[in-house]
Amino acid sequence: MDSSTSITTSDSPYRLLLTAASLIPISHYLLGFLFICLVYLYNFLEIHILGDLFTGFTGQPVSLIFNSCSDVYQEVVSKCPVLHGRQLFHLSDGGTMALDWLMNSNVSKASFQVTDAITKDDRTPIVIVIPGLTSDSASAYIKHFAFKMANCGWNVVVSNHRGLGGISITSDCFYNAGWTEDIRKVIDHLHCKYPEAPLFVVGTSIGANILVKYLGEDDVKTPIAGAAAVCSPWDLLVGTSVICCD
């Protein structure tokens, strides 16, 4: 070893560190400095290409903070269900449904942050809403009902029919008054995901028909604690003729 770089036991730790640092080539320091500059620019310019590569370009979850009493919320945010708690529910045949959530925590404060706040052991009751013909979570009566229920301490999820709620048809199957498989899958999914939360279902119009038929088919096997059918079209043949005449 060269005498100029020899180390003795009498040297202080700081001197040893400086000696070791001086042995590292300058090019390595330059590369390290360049790397730090690139990381800084990546974050400063908000370039997310690497993050997108790791997530498969699926994007990142969006958090929305706003005042639910403001005019902006009433005129803009309340009319955009995609800005609220939305879950795309994929069915086995390739179909897609939108589950739009309104949590009790969302309406219990004047200002809030929309997040998926339900935990697996949450015991807050969940009410599932099945809208009527051509209705979805953007319909005035659905929004009014959801807000009232959330304000009373419930978590509300609107089970939009296939092709509604701003979601395109992704399979060759559409919803109808006699098709109960979709709501069965939604109920089973929610019961599995939130086993401690009592499940209730409210159906309106054709949604009520679907709900009543589901209850008759599953009977005691259903995991729901209660249900309400509102304005159920019991005789679909008569109802169809009236719609056609109108």
Instruction: Output DSSP code: residue 83.
Output: G
d(CA 116, CA 209): 30
Q: What is the DSSP letter of 157?
A: E
Binned at pLDDT 50, 70 and 90, residue 45 comes out as confident
Q: Is 44 helix (H, G, I), strand (E, B) or coil?
A: helix
CA nearest 201: which of 137, 124, 144, 127?
A: 127
| Structure tokens given for 17 | 């560190």
CATH 3.40.50.1820 occupies which residues in the chain?
64-245
Residue 208, pLDDT > 90, answer yes
Q: Which of 209, 214, 200, 199 is nearest to 229 (CA)?
A: 209
Tokens of 31: 């590369």
Q: What is the mean pLDDT of the chain?
A: 82
**Residue 41 vs residue 52, higher pLDDT:** 41
Q: Quickly state the pLDDT bin for 19 (edges 50, 70, 90).
A: confident
User: What letter represents residue 233's amino acid?
Assistant: P
Stretch among 51-65, 186-200, 209-223 having the lowest mean pLDDT: 51-65
Residue 46: predicted pLDDT = 66
64-245 folds as: Rossmann fold (3.40.50)
What does the pLDDT look like over 60-115, one tens digit per residue?
665 556 665 667 665 665 555 544 578 899 999 999 999 999 988 877 654 444 44
Residue with tokens 């090019």: 27
pLDDT score for 99: 94
Cα gap 103→110, rounded to integer Å? 13
Once rounded to an integer, what is the mean pLDDT over residues 40-53?
A: 72
The helix (H) or strand (E) run that includes residue 118 is none
Residue 39: pLDDT band (50, 70, 90) is confident
> Nearest Cα to 96, choosing from 15, 13, 165, 144?
165
